[in-house]
Amino acid sequence: MILDNVQSIESFKEIDDFLQENNFSKIGILVDENTLKDCFPLILPFLPSHSILEIKSGEEEKNFYTCIKIWKWMTHEQFDRKALLINLGGGVIGDMGGFCAATFKRGVRFINIPTTLLSQVDASVGGKLGIDFEGFKNHIGLFQEPVKVFINPVFLNTLPENELRSGFAEVLKHGLILDKNYWEAVKSVDYKNAEWKKIIEHSVKIKNKVVKEDPTEKGIRKILNFGHTLGHAIETFYLNTSKRLLHGEAIAIGMICEAYLSFKKLNLKESDLNDITNHLIGIYSKNDIAESDYQKIISFCLQDKKNSDHKTMFVLLEEPGKAIFDIPINEDDMIEALDFYKTTKG
Ligand SMILES: NC(=O)c1ccc[n+]([C@@H]2O[C@H](COP(=O)([O-])OP(=O)(O)OC[C@H]3O[C@@H](n4cnc5c(N)ncnc54)[C@H](O)[C@@H]3O)[C@@H](O)[C@H]2O)c1
Ligand SMILES: [Zn+2]
């Protein structure tokens, strides 16, 4: 047990027990083609009768049109308020399945069985649900906690390496914002060959602690957005082009840019900036971001949900393990940060 609704499990018997203890009128499972193939067979022996909906995988599918498919399926399958939706997949399935469940008949219960590292350490904890809209990430959504989150690292055995690497960015972020010792420890972890159980449990603990203090992101929860202000803008920018960047890959760039801003604005030590930069580039390599794209990226920052009064508020680091939120940053500084990323050798 980690905390409240999040449970670290080694066997799927726990899911069986949970389903038997609760008298759900109907059980539906949302999967994509990969989680249907690689993850569903692992839990099938522990499931009672259920219906299943497969959607296409990918961030491009996290939209209103897929929601319509999900709501239609729930309608035709006669989901009522006592039904349960099981989201079996990564952050896309969890965010969108949760959103559909939370809005269907004013709220049907759902549980998450996250199958990517990113969703195990981050997306399935904290109740943020939503879909992309009009080119903006997570533009429509709400806060609603799943009844349960069952985390089992066994799913990571089939996860492609680039997806594992993407999720690892959130683990590194957890250390950088709140736990210096954890940052030091995860720096020496080889993500291709890691002991995930302990890492996941520690990351979930950090995220849960922050979310519990501030469930709707009025204050301290904002620190989870370190690397995400410019990172999200970069991710969104590329979402609208033919180049694809995974969430964690974009966040890694964001963390380097925002570490630079931390050095400039909060006196983060230059040696720490170099350490963070070298480490992240060592794992994620460098992406070439054209200067001609800077303005577009910055315009996405201004649209960020975390802003108020037309200022772009950043989370910056005073030192590794200590983040400060609501630091206003202007466009020139953002350009300088993107330039730092562009020119650093890492
Ligand atoms: N709600 C939150 O707090 C929160 C936090 C962070 C990210 N997110 C969201 O999460 C999404 C990204 O999540 P993600 O990285 O999990 O991506 P994802 O859901 O797209 O999954 C990544 C890929 O891995 C495949 N896959 C999943 N599990 C697998 C397994 N065990 N074996 C083989 N293949 C598998 C999927 O089919 C997909 O192709 C983004 O939409 C992001 O906005 C949400
Ligand atoms: Zn993230």
Average pLDDT of the chain is: 94
Mean pLDDT of 110-120: 98
Comparison of pLDDT for 159 and 3, the residue scoring more? 159
Comparison of pLDDT for 28 and 60, the residue scoring more? 28
Q: How far is CA 35 from the centre of its chain?
A: 17
Mean pLDDT of 110-132: 95
Does ligand 1 lie within 6 Å of residue 63's CB atom?
Answer: no
The span from the CA of 34 to the CA of 22, in Å, is 28
Mean pLDDT of 235-245: 87
Q: How far is the CA of 105 from the centre of ligand 1 (A)?
A: 26
Among residues 322, 325, 323, the alpha carbon closest in space to that of 180 is found at 322
- Predicted local distance difference test score (pLDDT) of residue 62: 97
pLDDT in tens, 46-80: 999 999 999 999 999 999 999 999 999 999 999 99
Substitution candidate for ligand 1 out of 118, 154, 191 with most atoms within 8 A of CB? 118
The span from the CA of 237 to the CA of 345, in Å, is 24
Comparison of pLDDT for 190 and 309, the residue scoring more? 190
* Helix H or strand E encompassing 138: strand 136-143
Among residues 244, 212, 207, the alpha carbon closest in space to that of 226 is found at 207
174: helix, coil or strand? helix
Mean pLDDT of 107-134: 95
The closest ligand to the CA of 255 turns out to be: 2
pLDDT in tens, 194-207: 999 999 999 999 99
Q: Do 100 and 84 contact (CB within 8 A), yes or no?
A: no
- Predicted local distance difference test score (pLDDT) of residue 2: 46
Residue nearest to atom 13 of ligand 1 (CA): 91
The span from the CA of 221 to the CA of 325, in Å, is 9
In this prediction the pTM is 0.94
28: helix, coil or strand? strand
Percent of the chain topping pLDDT 90: 87
Which atom belonging to ligand 1 lies closest to the Cα atom of 128? 1
Residue nearest to atom 10 of ligand 1 (CA): 91
Among residues 167, 155, 79, 94, the alpha carbon closest in space to that of 128 is found at 94
Substitution candidate for ligand 1 out of 119, 152, 305 with most atoms within 8 A of CB? 119
Comparison of pLDDT for 240 and 83, the residue scoring more? 83
The closest ligand to the CA of 174 turns out to be: 2
- Predicted local distance difference test score (pLDDT) of residue 310: 58
Confidence of residue 1 (pLDDT cuts 50, 70, 90): very low
Among residues 118, 81, 75, the alpha carbon closest in space to that of 102 is found at 81
- Predicted local distance difference test score (pLDDT) of residue 124: 81
Mean pLDDT of 116-142: 93
Substitution candidate for ligand 1 out of 99, 124, 163 with most atoms within 8 A of CB? 163
pLDDT in tens, 280-333: 999 999 999 999 999 999 998 887 666 656 569 999 999 999 999 999 999 999
The span from the CA of 251 to the CA of 260, in Å, is 14
